[in-house]
Amino acid sequence: MDTLTPTITTAIILSMGISIALPSTNINKTKNKLMMLFIISLIPLNSALNNKELTLSSTPMILTPTENINISLTLDMLSLTFMPVALFITWSVLEFSLWYMMPDPNVNKFIKYLLTFLIAMLIIITANNMYQLFIGWEAVGVMSFLLIGWWYGRPDANTAALQAIIYNRMGDIGLIMTTAWLMSSSSMNLQEAMISHNMTIIPMLGLLAAAAGKSAQFTLHSWLPSAMEGPTPVSALLHSSTMVVAGVFLLTRFSPMLQNNTIMNMCLVLGATTTVFAAASAVTHFDIKKIIALSTTSQLGLMMTMIGLNQPSLAFLHMITHSFFKALLFLCSGLFIHNLNNEQDVRSMGGLLNTTPMTATSLIIANLSLMGMPFLSGFYSKDTIIEVMMNSHINSWALTITLTATTLSAMYSTRIILLTITGHPRTMNIMHKETKDIISPLIRLTIMSILAGTLTKLTTLQTTTLTTMPKTIKLATLIATLTGVTLSNDRDFFIKHMSPKKSKTLSIFFNQMAFFNMLHRSVPMNMLKMSQQILTELMDLWALESWGPKGLSKTLKPMIYLSTHQKNMMKSYMSIFLITLMLSLTIMMI
């Protein structure tokens, strides 16, 4: 098994690359290839369950005086567990895309972009040196730019794509800084770098900045809701098993090197702030895709909190369970939007349980899993996370914030269920039948949203917490969730009968993402304007006018000014008269 596993994994990546490189017109063959690759990727899981770490390296490709650069794959618990998840979700999203994007004339190119996106993520999770990691990291960013801006005829899509890649480039500065530090002070090979624990705080901050940019943490969170301008299959893949989880995966991979109290506290504060802020923002939005996108940001904040508590395995566990129900949520929302003639406002939906029963059922299960309802996949990761926080040396602020975010996540999840699938229809439906192409990926993802948490009981990802904790602590997550469900139900019951009112300042604050969009646009705009003024006004009008040619010309006095006082100015005449009079009186007195 030890020699079979690397061979199988390499074959998976190579076959994916060949299938993209060869021109293909039959998309169904590509779908079947992905299905086979997923089944093959389950074989090496035996090594992961036995906690074996395998490395596969090629001969040196580039020889340098200090280091030989080669292709090196690491196959450990993280990569071998996450690889089937990424393949499974891409398989489901690609099958959904065949129906959703069929009217698009460039559907073949779209499928190739999705597969390239998957390959970039596989490069990240199997990379054993910083060169490969950086290649996959940048490839994920470039593919997100191309996919978010797929409908490039829309100005909003172009703006969102630019926003995504610019925010990611801001975070990439940190990764480049860490890479440069490892190149000069340690080794570019991850295993060798993790053995030496002499990392200073600067490269740690670089890793944190890279993860904050890619995983849309607070202050760099604005690009994630804007990324909803892309097609729904892109959102499903982007927000579940690729791109946004790459940042948390990076910190999970480098967790042995991040053993620093300052960095841990920064991760904890950043994660707790992100999770509650994104959840509060989701409560104020009505666009179904933006609500789910902000929900992703909130869950990423929860993963970052676990990194801050030095529990990377729990962050990785939540990453896996979150992938299934988040992909399912996006596919269900895309089906609703498609059926309602591109209507995305949840207030304009309703009664979809009768017209699309299978999709509505999947949406309910995905939302319940997101809330952390018992025995669904989200429960096994979310409940364990709260229990670990309860039993750790953590300040009460972070714990209270996380429980508040859990309540808010139950609120917006309940609101999605109540407004979309219950009640009476509030818009004109153009219904599509729930065919096999649509239902098959939904059923697969629904089954995994139910069973993924149970299956992870077979692994060592779940940390066993104290069994002697009080009932209140044990049931804290469930109490917070039920509180959120009750509050959301009561709020919608009272609000739906009232006439629309002007939003309060606090609602506007969260709805506008704490005005970071305006801040991030106004700061560079003001800097450009100030630079323009300095260049044109300060340098041109002041420095050159005063000290340049005109300034020199003013220093030259005509001889007439030096030889005569006849300047036709009264004050000059009076001054000369007064001076002459004073001199005369002085001479006479003498």
pLDDT of residue 505: 63
- In degrees, rounded to 5, the angle at the alpha carbon of residue 313 between the alpha carbons of residues 309 and 317 is 115
Q: DSSP alpha helices (H): ranges in 215-356?
A: 223-226, 232-240, 244-253, 261-284, 288-308, 312-339, 352-355
CA proximity to 386, closest of 296, 310, 477: 477
Q: Residue 201 above 80 pLDDT?
A: yes
Report the distance separating Cα 408 and Cα 483, nearest Å: 9
pLDDT of residue 62: 80
**CB of 464 within 8 A of CB of 350?**
no
Give the SS3 label for residue 68: strand
Q: Residue 166 above 70 pLDDT?
A: yes
Longest dimension (CA), the chain: 124
If you average pLDDT over every residue of the chain, what do you get? 84
Q: Write the Ramachandran bin of 558: left for phi over 0, alpha for psi from -120 to 50, otherwise beta.
A: beta
Which is more confident, 540 or 524? 524
Q: Residue 371 above 60 pLDDT?
A: yes
Tell me the backbone φ, ψ of residue 167, rounded to 5 degrees. -65, -40
Report the distance separating Cα 159 and Cα 408, nearest Å: 29
Query: pLDDT-derived band of residue 430, with 50, 70 and 90 as boundaries?
Result: low
Q: Residue 564 above 60 pLDDT?
A: no
> What percent of the chain lies above the pLDDT cut of 70?
82
Structure token pair of residue 443: 């059923």
Query: pLDDT-derived band of residue 3, with 50, 70 and 90 as boundaries?
Result: low
Question: pLDDT tens digits for 209-237?
Answer: 999 999 989 888 888 888 998 999 999 99
Q: What is the mean pLDDT of residues 27-55?
A: 80
Q: How far is CA 476 from the centre of its chain?
A: 28
Q: What is the mean pLDDT of residues 84-98?
A: 92
Query: pLDDT-derived band of residue 24, with 50, 70 and 90 as boundaries?
Result: low
Q: Which residues pair with 189 in a beta bridge?
A: 129
Q: Residue 141 above 60 pLDDT?
A: yes
Q: Which residues pair with 68 in a beta bridge?
A: 63
Pairing relationship of beta strands 62-63 and 54-57 according to DSSP bridges: unpaired
pLDDT of residue 291: 93
Provide the 8-state DSSP code for 457: G
pLDDT of residue 360: 92
Q: Residue 555 above 80 pLDDT?
A: no
Q: Residue 23 above 60 pLDDT?
A: no
Which is more confident, 494 or 78? 78
Helix (DSSP H) and strand (DSSP E) numbers for the chain = 28, 4
pLDDT of residue 405: 94
Q: Residue 187 above 90 pLDDT?
A: no
Question: pLDDT tens digits for 100-126?
Answer: 888 888 888 998 899 889 989 999 999
Q: What is the mean pLDDT of residues 193-207?
A: 84
Count the neighbouring beta carbons within 10 Å of the beta carbon of residue 586.
Answer: 9
pLDDT of residue 462: 62
Most confidently predicted of 361-370, 505-514, 539-548, 562-571: 361-370
Report the distance separating Cα 385 and Cα 401, nearest Å: 13
Q: Residue 588 above 60 pLDDT?
A: yes
Q: Residue 2 above 70 pLDDT?
A: no
Look at the block and give the residue holding tokens 């229809």.
425
pLDDT of residue 161: 92
Q: How many residues are given for the chain?
A: 590
Provide CB contacts within 8 A for 304, sequence distance 6+: 211, 215, 217, 248, 251, 267, 270, 271, 274, 275, 315
Provide CB contacts within 8 A for 70, sequence distance 6+: 57, 58, 59, 60, 61, 129
Query: pLDDT-derived band of residue 320, with 50, 70 and 90 as boundaries?
Result: very high
CA proximity to 268, closest of 231, 304, 243: 304
Q: Determine which helix (DSSP H) or strand (DSSP E) holds 255, and give its type and residue range.
A: none
Provide CB contacts within 8 A for 205, sequence distance 6+: 174, 263
> What percent of the chain lies above the pLDDT cut of 90?
35
Rg of the chain (C-alpha set):
31
Which is more confident, 318 or 454? 318
